[in-house]
Amino acid sequence: GAVVSQHPSRVICKSGTSVKIECRSLDFQATTMFWYRQFPKQSLMLMATSNEGSKATYEQGVEKDKFLINHASLTLSTLTVTSAHPEDSSFYICSVMRTGTYEQYFGPGTRLTVT
């Protein structure tokens, strides 16, 4: 069965609004989760590392004030795209790392379309 869930699976929003995407670890507690973005026909690009109880670590070029990450519990991390614009339209994927191992499990992804 699924190890990681994401909600919603698909969302359409208007330009200027904010959208929250949830990533849940279903089978185990995870102190570390990762957020990726994937544009059509391109590879996954890591956006940030989400750490439970502390601030997320963002990759170079990713605006932390635009992509707000909250990892409030050992099973939930959220990514909020603030003031979304059409260029933010993408496939957002989270992954969960099993604590004590280097195994990563990916969620099914959330397709965001900003009109």
| Residue numbers at the binding site for other proteins (CB under 8 A) | 4, 6, 32, 34, 36, 43-46, 49, 57, 91, 93, 95, 97, 102-109, 111
* Cβ atoms of residues 92 and 112 within 8 Å: yes
Minimum CB–partner distance for residue 106 and other proteins (Å): 3
Return d(Cα 52, Cα 32) in angstroms, integer.
6
Minimum CB–partner distance for residue 52 and other proteins (Å): 13
Between 18 and 27, name the residue whose CB sits nearer to other proteins.
27
Between 70 and 99, name the residue whose CB sits nearer to other proteins.
99
